[in-house]
Amino acid sequence: MEQIELVTPKTLQVTKPLTMVSGSILPKYELVFETYGKLNDDGSNAILICHALSGNHHAAGIYESENTKGWWHEHIGSGKSIDTNIFFVVCSNNLGGCHGSTGPASINPSTGKIYGSDFPIVTCKDWVASQNTLREHLQIDCWAGIVGGSMGGMQVLQWSIDYPDKIKNAIVIAAAAKLSAQNIAFNEVARRAIMEDADFHDGRFLEYNTIPKKGLALARMLGHLTYLSDDMMGEKFGRELRTEKLNYNYEVEFQVESYLRYQGEKFATKLNFDANTYLLMTKALDYFDPAAEFNNDLETTLAKTTANFLVISFTTDWRFSPERSQEIVKALLDNNANVSYAEITSQHGHDAFLLKNDHYEAVFSSYMNRISTQLQTGRK
């Protein structure tokens, strides 16, 4: 039987104020995080995992109290791509999140009330700055690698730009250097769904003892739908009916409707995802555009980056298509960076980055083995 590490989340209290990209100042904050494996003596084997929109710090292992495996359990653990026998793995819940780190559901020290919509807009750069504080706390001089998919991949890119000497290897999966107009448009529809829910109360819903459940479920349905490929949905659901024959009414007729409603409701109620966090994360995605500071030139943006890169995309991912990854690869190659690129054949759309896939695992593992060899030989 597979050995799964028992884990307990830890919390870092940061009392040094954080001046955010927006100009807002967060006087203090907490970051909840988990670690897997052991930091070696010279602190050279640390891997940071950056999570995606709906993710959190529970990337791997299992809690004693409940049977929930981490969201990237497939890739992190003993003998897996990110082998916890070799690496010390760290994952924190992003600032503004809703799983323990300071966010919109936390108390605003300046008012004594829940932040709600007063929580300042967080950007990818702010996340990376806060993760850098966590790095210092953990006494890690330099990450052996930083890994992330989707929004996580954007944080990896930002790390390589903002702290080039603190990251040896950057693994950017199913990401993009910035959102397209279509990406932003999907996010905007999701936000409208939340903000126009009668229970949203301008983001102060917790003070009203309610949550904008319907809007959040709708946002999630839409998000989920765009993370899947047309082909995969066709194969999984086709036009299969929920009941034996058509009912000709507005109830659920097709399996795909039932599936999406379930996903939406689970997210909004069972998983209890905070609606303000959802808004915040989609905004951070929209704002992510590191090249904007460099005259919109991605090559210049990545000029100071010294990390080795592994960039991975998935054939049927239409939210962050292979072309978007290739833009990153091109900018890196134009800088003579050391970059490997793999386009993985998968039917699973954007979601593929979270799922098992032999080719994906082979590429990922062999790159992680290379990092492991670097550790042993001390070479880059």
Catalytic positions, written as ranges: 150, 317, 350
The CA-atom distances, in angstroms, between 225 and each of 15, 186, 232 are 40, 11, 11
Work out the angle at residue 110's Cα, subtended by the Cα atoms of residues 104 and 116, and round it to the nearest 5 degrees: 20
Tell the smallest beta-carbon distance from residue 150 to its own copies (Å): 17
CA distance 287 to 238: 36
- Closer residue to its own copies (CB): 77 or 116: 116
- Closer residue to its own copies (CB): 75 or 319: 319
- Closer residue to its own copies (CB): 47 or 218: 218
CB of 235 closer than 8 Å to CB of 255: no
Tell the smallest beta-carbon distance from residue 121 to its own copies (Å): 4
- Closer residue to its own copies (CB): 145 or 212: 212
Chain residues in the site for its own copies (CB under 8 A):
21-24, 117, 120-121, 123, 178-182, 184-186, 188-189, 191-193, 195-198, 214-215, 217-218, 221-222, 225, 228, 230, 233-234, 236-239, 246, 248-250, 253-254, 256-257, 260-261, 264, 279, 283, 286-287, 289, 318
CB of 167 closer than 8 Å to CB of 146: yes
CB of 380 closer than 8 Å to CB of 168: yes
Burial class from Cβ neighbours inside 10 Å (0-12, 13-18, 19+) for residue 64 reads exposed
- Closer residue to its own copies (CB): 121 or 142: 121
Tell the smallest beta-carbon distance from residue 213 to its own copies (Å): 9
Tell the smallest beta-carbon distance from residue 92 to its own copies (Å): 22
Tell the smallest beta-carbon distance from residue 353 to its own copies (Å): 19
